[in-house]
Amino acid sequence: MENWSQQRIAESLKSKKVITENQLQDVLRIQRETGKKITTIIMEKGLTTEIKINVNLAQLGVNDLESYILDMELLEKFKEDQVVKHQVIPLFAIGNKIYVSIADPKNIEAQQMIVFSSGYNQIRNIEASPEDVRNLINKYFSRRGAIKKAILEMGPAGTKHDSLTDDRRFTTQAVSQSDAPIIQLVDDYLTRALERNASDLHFEPQEDGLRVRMRIDGHLQTIETVPTSLVGSITSRLKIMSQMKIDLRMVPQDGRFSRMINDQEIDFRSSSFPGIFGESIVIRLLKRRFLIPLEQLGLSSEMLLRFKKAIRSDRGILLVTGPTGCGKTTTLVTIVNEIKDPSKKIVTLENPVEYQIDGTVQGQIHPQAGFSWAKGLRSILRHDPNIIMVAEIRDQETASIATEAGLTGHFVISTLHTNNAPGAIIRLLEMGVEPYLIASSLIGVLAQRLVREICSNCKIAYTPNQAMLQSIGIKEAPASLQLYKGTGCRECNHTGYRGRTGIFELMLVTDVMRQLILRKSGTAEIEIEARKTGMQTLRQDGIRKALQGITTIEEILTATQEHSIA
């Protein structure tokens, strides 16, 4: 049986036009640095779909089973005992064909079981070694049985357990065999969250049990509700992992931990909140993310040219604004990666460091140790930097230091929480920053939101009705105008959306605008001037992307609020 190296898989996918030559070199570089599977890297970077990868791997005869993107819904159709008995691992299905790997391809019973369990009548076998089949079965099916084992070990649903006893049990150095299912269950949730590209996990005690949810593409999806008998044990396990005080239940706590999952080191940040049915815990996944080119953020070609000019400034302050979770940090580090230069000193201040940027000095605040945003920024200035990235401006002291740094020969980039670009000026004024500091140092503001992209696998065109067109300000439209939506499929978890992109509003500060700032003018006046000089609003940029078939009108209406100006 011929072995397939990761480089050969990558080159073969390039020959099949699944990836380009530039993408090939990029994924090979990442594979060498991280050791991840080539197909995992391709999926993380959003270069193609699961189906295209799987079909092409099968056509090529790739026998590295770990390189296939397994269909989790398909796996759910098979019973663990049957899979183990016949040594069969289902991989994926398309049309009326199911692709599997069978340790013994001549096993008639195994083939009959596949047809009966899956409902597919055509079987395609991917040749692999019996050991590889066994390893993949153990990886996926042993995880799926974790909750069943945990329920059996912990007692019938509804049983009330002493949470203090649960806490003590998990703090002992040697965990007993009866606790292993709970540990396995929690690990399973973390692994599933990573595999589904979730941003966070929510464990929410309810009257009837523990609701477990994931946030995927900005929207929460319920995984399952765990019986009440397991609530105390799962909560205790999560708190121990996060190094929280387990006997402190009536006040919120924060924690963090790291785990190796699927050959990746993932950082997790956790937070507990006391609710009426127990402690709610949210775990955020801080993946070691890949830096993306500025061109892939989603800026229009015209906006991109103007923005590239702004970020090449030698001095001043540039702000990125928007609500929590709209991708501001990604934009900041993308800017730094774009403008970094061996001849320049670049220092960042973050909480936490989510991306690692070569050629820079990255620092992380520690409030408990007295290392605050303001203190860190003052220290950075003593290191004679050319470029400073402050991940967030929260208070007057940090805002004043940052704007003053922009006046004294430094280029500063940071973020603010405002609804739109003109609102950043008003926010700085409300924070107590002097108008002359803002007018003299502010270069521009980029406001942004994240919207879901239409799933390319189930995307269809349709003719919008007049009411929908009027809702986005289009009074007259040609009869041939079409919009797009997703009908829902396995690849997008039947949501019609897969992945996210940005919509933007770029305001560059002009001389007229500086006079408005000095006069402490309101948002409306500043926005009128910004539109005169070419600023498109968030909604206008979103509508453009909807007309291009990137996202839907419903997403844009949800993500934006139009500020009407007379």
Q: Rounded to two decimals, what is the model's pTM? A: 0.72
Task: Report which residue type is found at 129.
Answer: S
Q: Could you report the per-residue pLDDT of 503-535, keeping only the tens digit for each?
A: 999 999 999 999 999 999 999 999 999 999 989
Q: What is the pLDDT of residue 156?
A: 52
How far is the C-alpha of 272 from the C-alpha of 19, rounded, in Å?
Answer: 42
Residue 172 has pLDDT above 70, yes or no: no
The closest alpha carbon to 332, from 381, 392, 379, belongs to 392
Tokens standing for residue 355: 């991306």
* pLDDT band at 32; cut points 50, 70, 90: confident
Choice among 51-65, 139-153, 492-506 with the minimum mean pLDDT? 139-153
pLDDT the model gives residue 486: 92
Does the pLDDT value for residue 161 go beyond 90?
no
The pLDDT of residue 162: 46
Mean pLDDT rounded to a whole number for the chain: 87
Domain ranges of the chain: 6-139, 145-286, 294-449+501-537
pLDDT at 159: 45
Give the pLDDT of residue 475.
73
Lowest mean pLDDT among 131-145, 341-355, 359-373: 131-145
DSSP 270-281: EEEEEETTEEEE
State the average pLDDT over residues 91-118. 92
CATH class, range 145-286:
alpha beta
294-449+501-537 carries CATH number 3.30.70.1710: no
Q: What is the pLDDT of residues 367-388, one digit of tens each?
A: 878 888 999 999 999 999 999 9
pLDDT at residue 562, as a whole number:
52
Per-residue pLDDT at 149 exceeds 80:
no
What pLDDT, in 10s, does the model give residues 204-256?
999 888 999 999 888 888 888 888 888 998 999 999 999 999 888 899 999 98
Looking at residue 295, what DSSP letter applies? G
Q: Determine the Cα–Cα distance for residues 270 and 254; give it in Å rounded to an integer.
A: 6
Give the pLDDT confidence of 266-282 residue by residue, as tens digits: 889 999 999 999 999 99
Looking at residues 327-337, what average pLDDT do you find?
92
Q: Give the residues across from 501 on adjacent strands.
A: 451
How far is the C-alpha of 340 from the C-alpha of 353, rounded, in Å?
Answer: 17
Instruction: Compute the C-alpha angle 166/167/169, nearest 5°.
Output: 65
Q: What is the pLDDT of residue 148?
A: 61
DSSP for 461-477? EEPPPHHHHHHTT--S-
